[in-house]
Chain A
Amino acid sequence: MIQANNISLNYGGVSALKDISFQVERGEIFGLIGPDGAGKTTLFRILTTLLLADSGTAIVDGLDVVRDYKVIRTRVGYMPGRFSLYQDLTVEENLSFFATVFGTTIEENYHLIKDIYQQIEPFKNRRAGKLSGGMKQKLALSCALIHKPAVLFLDEPTTGVDPVSRKEFWEMLKRLKLQGITILVSTPYMDEASLCDRIAFIQKGKILTIDPPEKIIADFPYKVFAVEADNNYKILKQLRQSESVRSVFSFGDSLHVVFKDVSKIEKEQINAELKEIAPTIEDCFMALANN
């Protein structure tokens, strides 16, 4: 459904994307996971025909993003990272404007957006600028969906949205997937990665790995230990200097440690309890990003 072949792009000498290739199957939720500045938005813009790559080709729904950009624009739904609707128009005005622009009506495709739009319909006369973050995202998704796109491009749809709304949002994506819509979604949140069918880790314009999230975790070659203590920072510094530690990162209240050789753990160095845990997606990303 989406095919990117060796895409590279430079911004004034700085390389934003380096030789990116991947493929997204029909009806798949494909996640681009990576920190800010990794090149996710640039890649989205190339695939949505908004930017031209310096080299490489891309095909969306069987069409070339450069040559057939006009046709692609009728078939995809795009939700940019920044809230990009008209803040001074009401919820309903925004939706009906985008419906008309795409040559359809709200009534015609209401079934597609019903689940999402119903939640904001009580506020349909409110101006979009006065909506909460979660409601804005729902409206933006409704607008991106109103013309029944074959592919949905969602650039960081959950950034700045509260956890409850984020969860709801992903449930909506699952339902859209069932309707046969292919979804390419990017996020800086590692916990959302496991909700995708397949993910690509992206960092500094390079794809580190592409696999289903379960496989990435299963393939993680190391054992991960969690350390929980009152003086996390001191222990973190101590572990960073230790010869036997491969990597250590702070994860909320605890530290995740990977040792070079599990059999030689110098327990006496750490004045806290070590507990082996199942690796998370973030552990995998950190390990890959550091290699």
Chain B
Amino acid sequence: MKQFIAFVRKEFNHILRDRRTILILLVMPIVQIILFGFAITTEVKDTPMAILDPSKDEATRQVTEQLAASRFFTLVSELRSTEEVEKAFQKGDVKLVVVFSDNFQSNLFHTGEAAVQIIADASDPNQASTFTNYASNIITTVYLDLASKTQIITGDIRPLRIIPEIKMLYNPQMKGAYSFVPGVMGLVLVLICTMMTSISIVREKEMGTMEVLLVSPVKPIYILLAKITPYFALSVINLTSILLLSVFVLGVPIKGSLSLLILFSLLFIFVGLTLGLLVSNIVKTQVAAMIFSGVVMMMPTLLLSGMIFPIDSMPKILQWISVIPPNRWYIEGVVKLMIQGVSAKFVLKEFVILGLMAVLLLAVSLKKFNVRLSK
């Protein structure tokens, strides 16, 4: 036990004396959360919009006003002909054009039908589908409003139309930060844990100190556990700052139990650390450790964890592979705990999976730990 404590103290000394690294480690998560939370969101805000309105009547004006008044769209120009629609898109001035039919209001009042076309720049399909949805919602609202007025004025009873209502569960405003925060939390934590643990072990190999450690009675399990202890502490600090930022700056609520969320995150941090141990078994230099944990491992973490692309829409084979990155389970768990606010039994699966991963990774790292030098 004395051995272990001495080892942990040594590791803390290494970290605390490397001021620049520790600064990066503590500031990086803050910067990333803010960057991802604000800049890189799929949230639609102030999308430039144009209208082509040949009828220019009460109804079209009302629709236009409603669209322009919403914070999703900004009216940048009023077009005069269909040719101009193409040009406006080509110039990149607008992302959305709303085209009304001729005699919009009279058609609406007399035939009960009026055509409106929503044309979107779908070069970013996710964004396009989001804002066309918004636009059609707004138009539907106006239509219902108009229709009810017409009924009152004319007394004309039309067959009721069923308009599909889309309700956004959990994130009614479709805030980008909601879906990004769990992903970024997982990304930041696993990146730091894996990279720093693997680097600190490989450094001993590179500096030759591993040679001296091996020719000593210290047990491999002590070496491994002592290596991850300080980074565990560091990650707890990072977790705290990430959660504070999410709640107070990005406005993401913690609907479920905070202690359960913390417990779940600590388990995930442990998985990240043991992943670092595994990397240190594979690579031989600090640079390789950095590339391996920063690039090679980040690809599946980013692409297959559901952080960027929804898992449900992946091809079947990728869906099977996506069970491997621990981030997938972390994101699922955090979404449940933080945003949906479910009780403990609904995250049992995620707890068990991450727990098994941690045990497995630690066992493999210990088994693969070379008690000798490789030739």
Q: When chains A and B are docked, how far (Å) is the Cα of A96 from the Cα of B215? A: 17
Tell yes or no: B7 within 8 A of A by CB.
Answer: yes
Q: How far is the CB of B230 from chain A (nearest CB, A)?
A: 14
Residues from chain A with Cβ under 8 Å of B371 in the complex:
69
Q: For window 1-44 of chain B, which residues contact chain A by CB distance below 8 Å? A: 2-3, 6-7, 10, 13-14, 17-18
Question: Which residue of A74, A76, A84 contacts B207 across the interface (Cβ within 8 Å)?
Answer: A84
A101:B208 contact, CB within 8 angstroms: no
Tell yes or no: A266 within 8 A of B by CB.
Answer: no
A98:B216 contact, CB within 8 angstroms: yes
Question: Which residue of B3, B208, B372, B375 contacts A49 across the interface (Cβ within 8 Å)?
Answer: B372
A73:B216 contact, CB within 8 angstroms: yes
Q: How far is the CB of A95 from chain B (nearest CB, A)?
A: 12
Say yes or no: A50-B209 contact (C-beta < 8 A), given A100-B3, A103-B217: no
Question: Which residue of A11, A86, A88, A102 contacts B216 across the interface (Cβ within 8 Å)?
Answer: A102
A97:B372 contact, CB within 8 angstroms: no
Residues from chain B with Cβ under 8 Å of A88 in the complex:
13-14, 17-18
Q: Can you name the residue of chain A whose Cβ is closest to the Cβ of B372?
A: A50
Tell yes or no: B212 within 8 A of A by CB.
Answer: yes
Q: When chains A and B are docked, how far (Å) is the Cα of A101 from the Cα of B6? A: 8
The prevalent SS among residues of B at the interface is helix
Residues from chain B with Cβ under 8 Å of A45 in the complex:
211, 373
Q: When chains A and B are docked, how far (Å) is the Cα of A85 from the Cα of B18? A: 17
Q: When chains A and B are docked, how far (Å) is the Cα of A279 from the Cα of B127? A: 88
Question: Which residue of B2, B7, B373 contacts A50 across the interface (Cβ within 8 Å)?
Answer: B373
Instruction: Report the count of interface residues on A (CB-CB < 8 A).
Output: 31
Tell yes or no: B218 within 8 A of A by CB.
Answer: yes
Tell yes or no: A82 within 8 A of B by CB.
Answer: yes
B10:A52 contact, CB within 8 angstroms: no
Q: How far is the CB of A10 from chain B (nearest CB, A)?
A: 9
Tell yes or no: A80 within 8 A of B by CB.
Answer: yes
Tell yes or no: A262 within 8 A of B by CB.
Answer: no
A86:B10 contact, CB within 8 angstroms: yes
Interface residues of B (CB under 8 A from A): 2-3, 6-7, 10, 13-14, 17-18, 207-209, 211-218, 371-373, 375
Those 7 A-B pairs whose CB atoms lie nearest each other, nearest first: A100-B6, A84-B208, A78-B215, A74-B217, A50-B373, A82-B208, A84-B212
What would 11 A/B residue contacts be, using CB atoms closer than 8 Å? A45-B373, A49-B214, A50-B215, A69-B372, A73-B214, A74-B217, A84-B207, A84-B212, A88-B18, A101-B6, A101-B217
